[in-house]
Structure 1
Amino acid sequence: MKLRARRLSLPLVLSVSLLAACGGKSEEEMMASAKTALQQQDAKTATIELKNLLQKNPANPEGRFLLGKALLDSGEVVNAEIELRRALEYKYPQEQVVPLLVQVMLSQGQLKKALGDYGSTKLADKAAQASLDAQLSAAALGTGDRDRARQLAEAAVAGDPGSEQAVLAQARILSSQQSFTEAVQRLDELLKTHPKSASALLFKAQLQLRALNEPDAAITTFKQLLAVKPDQFDAHDALLGQALARNDIDAARQQLAAMKKAGVPGGRTALLEAKVEMAAGNYSRAKELVQALRRAAPEHLGLLSLAAMAEARLGNYSEAEALAAKAVQLAPQSAQLRYQHAQALIKLRQPAKALAALKPLLESGSKDSEALALAGQAAMLQGEQKQAEEYFKRAASLRPDDQRYRAALAIGQLSSGGSDAAVAELNTIAAKDKGTGVDLALISALAGRRDYAAALKAIDSLERKQPDSIDVPLLRGRVQLVQGNLVEARKSFEAVLKKDPKLLLALGGLVTIDVNEKKPDQGRARLEAYIKDNPKNSQALRALAELDAQLGKPHEQVLKSLNEAVRVDPNDALARQMQLDVLLAGRDVKLTLSTAQAAVAAIPNNIELMERLARAQMLAGENGQALSTFGKITSLAPESGVGQLGTAGVQILNKDFTAAQRELKKVLDVRPDDLQARAMAIQVELQLKRPKEALALAKDLQSRHPKAAAGYLAEGIVQQELGETDPALASMRKALTLENPGESPLRLHALLRKVRRTAEADAFADSWLKSHPDDITFGLYLADLALATNDLPSAEKLYRGLLAKRQDLVGALNNLSWLLTTQKKPGAVELAQKALALAPEQPAVMDTYAGALAAEGQPAKALEVQRKVVQMAPDVPAYRLALARFLLTAGDKAAARQELQQLTKLGKGFAQQGEVEKLLAEANR
């Protein structure tokens, strides 16, 4: 009986299934049910109904569109994009799909793609076009193109004045202009007519929280948003974040439970759960949660940031640095990500990299106290005491409510002359402070005012707080080094290396001591041994390259270390920057350009590398490409001014001074105190024959930077253009007394000579050199001037004096070699060889070398070198004339005649045509 019953059950089940299928919902019923669910903001039910519908009819365009909308409401943006694109494929009206699709793209950070794909799309329906314009306005704002964002917002308002999207676009523009109160007022007006606008409520709450610093008001608005849309992730995230900011872990867990109850997708819930576990100190659990999430979204910024934080808390700083670096690469404008990256680098004792990571946040007018404080720590580790003090002072002045405020005041007293009371005050604060921030500021301030004994005492106090910290002996060694106590500094650095033999900062201290003790080879050997044991340490390879450059080693040797640093760590941006700086100083245009292109491809969106790429493009004569690269820099970092200044520089080269003037105005509107921008603006005004405007800019520069020489030097140049000699000289003399006089001594001396006040010029030159013996630039100027005026004895004396101070001055080596050759003195070949080692493949240096070889009895080698010179620079007549001379000396009259005949074609355009005719007559004999 059981067997029979079992057999009978199969057809019974089949018949029930068939009956269910026959009696199921039709497509129309499922569509109607889905639309009702969407109206009731029940995205889950709508999704189920629409998926069932599409199983029956996969090509239903409206079903695809509504499913995309439901998935977007559920926070499943990736799948939403897929469905919306299918809706377009199945010819669902663009007017409905495109605005929503762009919204989805924006939610995934696809700002440039949205602008590229739909920036020129025109929709027939005005309301739809207005919605699209509003979304594109947000995209343009996100990429830094404020003008386009404003134009699109205005178009949205014109197309559909009272619509939700148009008003939101207006509010975004107001927010970008720092008009936060007006933006909130505009949103409140919208909420009167659209009280359930989740977008308006979210934007309002975010402005209250982040821009207006009204956390209580923001919490109220976030709660209103959750009443409208209980599963709104950003609201839950913000409320949970506020609980964590109060260190109220219980409240955070309650918010997390409410989020789960509301049905927020599991992945997002897990993200916030990881944040809670981090705050609760459960770092391993947080790491576990984040790792699971990252398997599905490896480049999610929030997950990368949280993963880096978890690794740092667990002491895995190398992993933390790698994760933070990747996050910064994906979002270079994020200050928070740069903080994380810098913190990890500081923990890894890589201060130079930390400062490079923070550089976009450290402009002259920066109000980022966190970045400044981190930069202070990095500068301290690097031994730059004065710079560290400046960073700490600026950071503290921006946060008067911080517990370190008293410390900032005391530091200010120290920097302005100081007093024992200020030191005592800082010591008191540092003793009470459980952290180390005040200790570091105190050490920095004391070292900055050269009170090394007190700085060492402060380090002793820090040691009592952190007896096992490796930073303590490292700081002690740094202070002893600048103190000049090399014996004790050596002991300190050696003590560090006993604890951590691989700590390169300590090894670098020993190398510095070796160089100071005139034992550079010993220092170099230390680095080479370290690299042998740590062949993949790019930082050590960079240090070796820096040492070689300092010692005047050949160009190829410096570049070899940097090439290896890039090979072992392609993501070492500093190594790539140094590599490009060496190449840019040379003349191998193709190699420089290809290397810069490779650097930007390896590390996209790195402003420093992109700026060097643009310079390489300019060197190659590709000014159009350089403009494009500077434009990309502007879109990535519009506030930095780097892109706009570079663009203006290219336009000045192109003699498009009006365009350069417009670009510089953009910079000065955002960064009115930018010295470089104002100096360039003055130059442009002079080129446009507007000296009065240039003079006004110079005066404004003086008022903004009264201690800087730039404004007074600029005024002197303008007055000189106007023919006002005495006012020009007075301004230049004033510039000499201020910070960074720059070209002021050169300009003053040149002007005195121009107006035939030669005795006064000579007296000034003697006086300036006596008081500024290390001013290499002025020394080179005087030497070159002596050479140009055929005062060969003075030129020789000046060049020799310069080379006694610096052996890596290629120009001085080259010109002194030429002088010795001309005067038939020995030593020219050796000097030319040194110049070539520093600047290989430079035609001018090779030409000098060939002349020296010929003068010292090596005609065959001279001829060989000069042939290469002419091959490298065939359009320089002087090089071809020298080659003809050497050919005649070698007895090859036919070849000499061929070279000379080419020169005769230049006619009077070549000043040495008389010598050409004389040599040609000799070749024809």
Structure 2
Amino acid sequence: MTSHAVTDSKASRFYEDALGRFEKRDIPGAIIQLKNALQIDRNMLPVQVLLGKALLANGEAAASEVALLEALRLGVNRAEVVVPLAQSFIAQGKQKMVLEQPQFNPAGLPQDTQVQLLVLRAAAASDTGDIRAAMRNIEDARVADPRSADAWLAEVPVRIRERKFREAHDAVARALALAPNAAEVYYQKAAILHVQGNLNGALAAYTQALQMNPKHMEARVARAGLLVDMGKPADAAKDVAEAQRLSPREPRAAYLKALLAEKEGNAKAATAALQEVTALIDPVPLEFIRYRPQLMMLNGLAHYGLNEREKARPYLEAFQRAQGATTVSKLLAQVYFAEGNVDRAIETLEGYAKAVPGDSQALVLLASAHMSQGRNAKATALMQEALLSKDTPEVRTTLGLSLMGSGQSDNAMAQLESAYKNDPAQTMAGAALAGLYLRAGQNAKAAAVAQGLVKQQPGNAGFQNLLGMALAQTGNLPGAKAAFEESARIDPALLPPQLNLARLDIASKAFDAAAIRLAAMLKSNEKNVEVLMELANLADLRGQTDEAVRSLRKADDFSGLHDVRPGLALVQLHLRKGQVAPAIEAVKKLSIKAPEDLAVLLTSARAMLANADQAGARAALTTATRVAEFNASRQVEIALLQLSANNPAGAAYSLDKALSTAPAHLPAQALKAEVLLRQGDVAKADQLARQIVAQAPKRAVGYSLQGDIALARGQNAAAIDAYRRAHQTEPSSDTLLRLFGVLSAQDGGKAALQLADQWTKSHPQDLAVRRVVADFYARSGNYAAARTAYEALLKTVPGDARVLNNLANVLLRLKDPSAVAIAEQALAKDPANASAIDTLGWTLFQLGGSTQSDRALQLLRDARLREPGNPSIRYHLGVLLAQSGRKAEALDEVEAALKAGRGFESSSDAETLAKSLR
């Protein structure tokens, strides 16, 4: 039984109490209650989401990330958690991940969420020094919402970092016009003035910010530091005390407290304050603050001030890496001197002297360092590497191998062909060339090169193995086996020929022989990825799914940084078996490992679609479109997935790229016509459909498109004629279902049902048609016939989650109590499916009685987090919230349902409920 099926009412009450505490800003209390809920059920999706947000608010960024990622694993819609997740990553110094991971792609998110995420991405890019990327994200935020003041404020720190103060002031002015009462606007204005040296102007602006929001910590700390610099210690002390009251764990306030104590001559208080700084920052992993140079500098200075030079060094080094040469470099050099590491001191000081010439203190330190090494005069030699261009086979071989390493296969092939042709003794070029030919499907060429290599060096086991691979690809299996056996004879310790022999055994269904070979290989090296993957393949073919998963997980664990094959195979295996949650978990690991790999992106999109995460899929596919460049077949594959993700604009873009280099590519043409039709451009779709019919008159696709176009124009008779012609040309489920669809709207669907009955008699295993017939009965209100049809389907596919869910809904309409049990079964088969979760929650509410209300509420909360754009789910949740007395939250849900889809089935009931709640 799934976790959803055993949701505990006590856990639900813990959650509701935590939600109330969170809303009242009792964050520690909320966290305690949420953890209590998780003690009962760790898979409660709403609990994980709220826990992630509460932990983030409590400053526990790493723990917040764990909870939010768990919520994603459980199936939460990305839009619900992407902003706090990005904040938790940034708080841990994972800025690059926020910029690179597909889950942080703004595409497909709601407008407000997009803006928040883009602003965070801009800050992350700025932290990493990529100003252009920061500005791109800021511009995208302004496009998403031209009225957003945050999108203008985000520009200010970027411009300050560039020292482009005029642009920074312009951005503040634009933000001020949009949000004249926002404290953040005045804080950013003050920050510019502070850096420019306008201390009085900065002080006034910081003060304005604090008048608007006395709890604005950045303004409070900045004003305190400014007051110290201006020689106003009494005023500064007030701000420091207030900052520490508001946030007792604020290290900048503690450091300012140390400075004030030092100015007063109170060494004991200064030391205590510096110890407070180090106590606050030392427990934080250095990577968490890698993009917070101020904190790194403060802790380095604090340790230095405490005469803890060894502890100061890593912070000062990290600060120097982030900020380059500053006066901190001189302190760092002195730390190196104290450790006896004179070479590092010289390196540090030379870098500083180059950036800041004329600093006498630095020059003295540098001179001392050189003299301590016995070098009375500093000698600097500039070396230039001379590049001699020689058009020789050796140079071309090196160039070709270099191009291979950078992924430029076509250019590499040309260089290697030239090298090997002009000098066959360049065997390294020949071996690499044969590999490229195999990758490109030019198997005969690969075999010819491999045979030439074997002729030159018949005792080379590697060349024999290469020949076997090439012969296998040409279909010469006996020749391949002989070459592999010869390779293994020459070098019994060489693994590839043994592995290739096992693959030949599997291809010939000699499974036992393959198993014996593979077991022997694994015994000699239990971490061999290739062997583990082949064992997984063998287990899968034998129906041993658990064993296949174990082998692939081991292979993935042992694979290199750039080897995504085991991970891809694991995701695909899970998806084939309908195991969506494990597939999503495996995809996350893959996406971190290779965020720009095309196969990873496409597999990630498929897993997200299986998990009903359209926004996440669109984000992955947007990146995939760029990575695939102009490969027509790949772009068609991407476009199909874009349509599955409800992104016709993205599909159109992919198809345009495909057709720009392959204008006669039939799949791209056909899909482009479908997309044009979906976008409402009927004339262009018609033109393309006619072109396809003329190009391929014996294919159904053109006639089917003409039927779609006629239907879009309201020409039902013409649509029926076109669909009939398509079905007559190429009879299939697809052509029949198109014809069924248009016929079902006429005369109560009699002709459609007759057509489907004839087809299923001759094609009894065509489940697609049988499903459509059952759905037709349900949609038309013939629930008794729908029940019969779904129950008949279940005899053929007894564990089909979709059929079970549809049957549960039909039984609910019939007010049959067995709907609950069927809904439970549907959810057990597909525990991450928002529709199944909603069905069970709503069914429990309708038929389960008052004892099931807590569980029903939690199920509907879970479904809403997974699919927030579904109006029915939000309406159902609104009904239960209203009943439980949470009227404000209920109204939010019902209004969101009405906004998302006024034409949904219960929209009139939702309107009535909304009026009663207002």
TM-score interval for Structure 1 and Structure 2 normalised by the shorter chain: 0.3 to 0.5
Structure number with higher relative contact order (C-alpha < 8 Å, ≥ 6 residues apart): 2
User: Could you state the TM-score of these two structures normalised by the residue count of structure 1?
Assistant: 0.43
